[in-house]
């Protein structure tokens, strides 16, 4: 009897499911990085034989550049079996500053609610300083304008 792992392995070797093999290759190479760096990797993809990792923080990019040299050399000597069909020619990374798709598809930003003016603008102006007195009079005029 076949289990799920065996079925997925046989599907990955078919030409129409080559994207699954690439995904497994990216996941396997991502697993070579330290755990704290793995959490900062958003996703990876192949483009023209180069494996790109998209990072979520500029500090992760700096650390990625320091670690990449120690990962490229062993990958050239020993390619994981998942990457046999599409071995990465080079590994690069860049930082993206866009919000995750889940946050972008969420609720829209709430705006200030529109409300009716409840004040009538009938209040005394006790200010004796001329600048302050003028400011309060402009507020009164604004309230009267909104009443109309």
Q: What is the pLDDT of residue 138?
A: 92
Over its C-alpha atoms, the chain yields an Rg (Å, rounded) of 30
Q: What is the pLDDT of residue 26?
A: 86
Highest-pLDDT range among 48-52, 88-92, 122-126, 130-134:
130-134
Q: What is the mean pLDDT of residues 130-141?
A: 91
Number of neighbours of residue 21 by Cβ within 10 angstroms: 20
Q: What is the pLDDT of residue 135?
A: 93
* Residue-range domain boundaries for the chain: 4-102
Choosing among 3.30.300, 1.10.540, 1.10.1200, 3.40.190, the CATH entry for 4-102 is 3.30.300
Are the CB atoms for 24 and 81 separated by under 8 Å? Answer: no
Predicted confidence (pLDDT) per residue in 98-134, tens digit: 666 655 555 666 677 777 767 777 888 888 999 999 9
Q: What is the pLDDT of residue 148?
A: 62
Asked whether the whole model's pTM tops 0.95, one would answer: no
Q: Where on the phi/psi map is residue 138: left (φ > 0), alpha (ψ -120 to 50), or beta?
A: alpha
């Amino acid at each position: 009897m076949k289990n799920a792992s065996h079925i997925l392995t046989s599907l990955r070797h078919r030409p129409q499911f080559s994207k699954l093999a690439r995904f497994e290759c990216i996941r396997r190479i991502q697993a070579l990085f330290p755990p704290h760096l793995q959490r900062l990797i958003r996703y990876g993809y192949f483009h023209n034989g180069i494996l790109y990792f998209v990072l979520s923080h500029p500090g992760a990019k700096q650390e990625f550049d320091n670690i990449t040299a120690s990962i490229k050399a062993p990958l050239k000597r020993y390619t994981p079996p998942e990457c046999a069909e599409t071995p990465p020619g080079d590994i690069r990374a860049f930082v993206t500053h866009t919000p995750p798709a889940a946050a972008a598809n969420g609720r829209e930003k709430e705006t200030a609610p529109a409300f009716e003016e409840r004040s009538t603008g009938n209040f005394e102006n006790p200010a004796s300083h001329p600048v302050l007195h003028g400011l309060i009079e402009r507020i009164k005029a604004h309230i009267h304008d909104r009443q109309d």
